[in-house]
Amino acid sequence: MAVSTGLFGASQSFVPLAEATLEGDNVRVPFDKDKVTDAPRVDADLHLDVEQERELYRYHGLDFAAVTGAAPTKPAPAATR
C-alpha cells in the first residue's frame, strides 16, 4: 500500500499490508514513521515487480515467501576459488 509521507504528504512510501489492521476508516500498520519514511524508494506511479516487493518486505522484517505464498528466492551461489 502507498502512504503519503513527507512535508504536506508530498512523497509516497510503500508499506506491506501483511500485519495491517483496519480501525474504522483507517489502516494501521505495525511500523513507526521513521521505518516507513526510510524505506527503499520505489516510484509510486509504477507497479512493483516481485523483487521490489521482496526488498520492501525484507526491509520491514517480514518473510515475503511466508506472507505471500510466493516461492522463496534461491540463495546466491557460493564463491569459488
Take residue 51 and report the three cell numbers written for it.
Answer: 523483487
Number of domains in the chain: 1
Could you tell me if residue 44 is inside a domain?
yes
Interatomic CA distance for residues 37 and 23, integer angstroms: 22
Could you tell me if residue 73 is inside a domain?
no
Question: Can you give the pTM of this predicted structure?
Answer: 0.66
Could you tell me if residue 53 is inside a domain?
yes
Interatomic CA distance for residues 1 and 53, integer angstroms: 11
Could you tell me if residue 76 is inside a domain?
no
Segment holding 5, helix H or strand E: strand 2-5
Could you tell me if residue 49 is inside a domain?
yes
Could you tell me if residue 13 is inside a domain?
yes
pLDDT value at position 49?
Answer: 86
End-to-end alpha carbon distance in the chain: 44
Q: Which domain holds residue 17?
A: 2-68
Q: Kindly list the distances between the CA atom of residue 56 and the CA atoms of 71, 78, 81, in Å, as whole numbers in the listed order.
A: 16, 25, 33
pLDDT digits (tens, 9 = 90+) for 14-54: 888 888 999 999 999 999 989 988 888 777 666 788 888 88
